Structures are given as C-alpha cells and as structure tokens.
Structure 1
Amino acid sequence: MLGTRYFRYEVTGLRQNEETDRMNAPIRSSGSIFITVPYSRMNEEMQRITRMGGQIVSISPISTSSATAAEA
C-alpha cells in the first residue's frame, strides 16, 4: 500500500479576511507560517493562499515512513 505524498508550503504575507475568519487559528501579520497539504490538494491550496494575499516562499516534500516502506 502506497502512502499519500505530503508537501509543506512556507507562506508569508497572509492577511486577515473573511476566508481566514472561518479558520480556527489566528493569522500573524509578519513572519512565515507552514501549511502541510496532500499532493491531491496542492493546486487548491495554492489558490486559497493567493486569495488570502499570501506569497509562497517554498514548497518542500515531506517524507513519511509509510511512503518509504519496502515493496517486499
């Protein structure tokens, strides 16, 4: 069984708006935040970050132990 691939976005410049008000976490006005998403939602998350005024600084794959399991 293959594991789901996850990616971590480093995002800066998010601002508070009606979409971020629906989130349970407050948005900081400065600094970076990290958002982890599965591969299947990458495009959707990029669009959401853009709508919230954020800028993606980097995207990094996250390795999981289930994804690296040997195919015995």
Structure 2
Amino acid sequence: MFGKIVAGTSGNTASAGRCFRYEVVGLRQSDDTEKIDYSIRSSASTLITVPYSRMNQEMQRITRMGGKIVNIQALSAIAASPESAENN
C-alpha cells in the first residue's frame, strides 16, 4: 500500500459506534430548521443525538442556526449512570 491513503475507515475504530447527546439552547426557526425531523422550542433546550463521525458538522450547523451547545454527553456514559439504572 505504498503511496495510498486509506480514508473512511472509521468503522474499524473504537469510536465508530459511539454516539453523543448535545443539549442545545437558543435555536431559532429558519429555512434550515424546516428540514429537520424534530421540533424546535425556543423556550427550552433541545436534545440532539449525534454519531461521533458527524460531531463537527453538527456543531457547525447548530452554530449557523443560532444555537448554543450547553452540554455534551456520551450515550454510553448516560446508560451507565446510576440515575438511569434507578429509573429502569
């Protein structure tokens, strides 16, 4: 493989299946928000689940829509928390 670049091999890494949950406030209604499949409420925060491979693109999109990310959590950390175990 001399001189070849292998791209798109994120499926082989430990981070390939990881997802994160963004807590976003301040999203405004715009042409971009008309295309998404969840409702926007300006008075509260919105939770958006994002795969690891798209974190940067999603952060840029949220910023363009006027939102502010106030919290990021790994979904594996949420599932392992004692609070979620008590609720089940």
Structure 1 segments unaligned to the other structure (5+ residues): 65-72
Aligned to 2:44: 31
Q: CA RMSD in A?
A: 1.8
- The aligned amino acid for 1:60 is Q
Q: Percent identity?
A: 61
Give 1 or 2: higher helix fraction: 2
Aligned to 1:55: 68
Aligned to 1:69: none
Structure exhibiting the larger radius of gyration computed from Cα positions: 2
Return the TM-score normalized by structure 1.
0.79
Higher relative contact order (CA 8 A, sep 6+): 1
- The aligned amino acid for 1:27 is I
| Aligned residue-pair number | 64
Q: How does 1:1-72 map to 2 (within 5 A)?
A: 4-63=17-76
Give 1 or 2: higher strand fraction: 1
Aligned to 2:85: none
Structure 2 segments unaligned to the other structure (5+ residues): 1-11, 78-88
Return the TM-score normalized by structure 2.
0.66
